[in-house]
Amino acid sequence: MAQARFLAVRPGRIHDAGGRGVPLAHLAYRVGEGPHLFRAGGPVTPHGGWMVMDCPQYAGGGEARQLCQELVRECAARRFTGVVCDFRGTYRRGLEGVCAQVAETCAGRGMVCCVREEYGLAAPSARVLLPTALSGGSLEERLGQATEKFGRRLCLWVERAAEDFLLPSPTGSGRTLTREELERLRSERGGSVFFDHDLCAHYFTYMAGGEGHFVLFDDAGSICKKLRLAQELGVESAILPFDQVDDILGELLE
């Protein structure tokens, strides 16, 4: 089965992302107090695709029935066929009920629902979003473990890595690089670039101020490898953030 791919796009970039033959996942909605559904950006035109909701200020609590009624009306008006509960950040138990009810509502209407991994067990009818960015371990093992836990209901959330790690890394996290910073480092410090088959990403090392650095980054080739690996392991859908891949999208869609 072909892997279904979506471009996650902000309202202001719908025109840029549209017309490429790839359905859109609209980063335009937010769960707020009540809980209720709110617009998180500019106007959304009825292009179809999926609705994406975040919840940066929702503290939990309340009955999700009204929220589900609101999102059903919005999905009908915009011809959306799926809802993504992109509730990243600190885990909140109150969001388990929201994810569960949204997933049940979507299932009852033949729509797709996706939730973050930490809420996957609370919403057994939903697909589970699995981010691709790793700083250690193996992407293949990560996908395999997630498949054992959730079965074949995974949806890949592609994250274009570009991070600068100190060696040794005290936290396991690096400094996020802009495209311009990455290109400058590659030009000034990069030297030889290697490919890490476990992380499925490129890397190079350099010295600065007496400290070693490890730079991990993706390009079109590494992202394509991640998508193929996920597809081989049975992952049937993937979401690519348009702002991260707009400069390499032609290569990704070949």
pLDDT digits (tens, 9 = 90+) for 130-141: 999 887 899 999
pTM of this structure:
0.93
On whether the CB atoms of residues 19 and 9 are closer than 8 A, the answer is no
Q: Which residue has the higher pLDDT, 8 or 92?
A: 8
**How large is the average pLDDT for residues 98-113?**
97
Domain positions in the chain: 4-160+219-252, 162-216
User: What order do you get walking across the sheet with 194-196 strand by strand?
Assistant: 175-176, 162-167, 211-217, 201-208, 194-196
- What is the per-residue pLDDT for 146? 95
Per the prediction, the chain carries an average pLDDT of 92
Contact 118, 136 (CB under 8 A): no
- The CATH code that applies to domain 162-216 is 3.10.50
Does position 46 have pLDDT exceeding 70, yes or no? no
Among the four given CATH numbers 3.20.20.80, 3.40.50.720, 3.90.550.10, 3.40.30.10, the one describing domain 4-160+219-252 = 3.20.20.80
pLDDT band of residue 164 (cuts 50, 70, 90) is very high
1 pLDDT above the threshold of 70: no
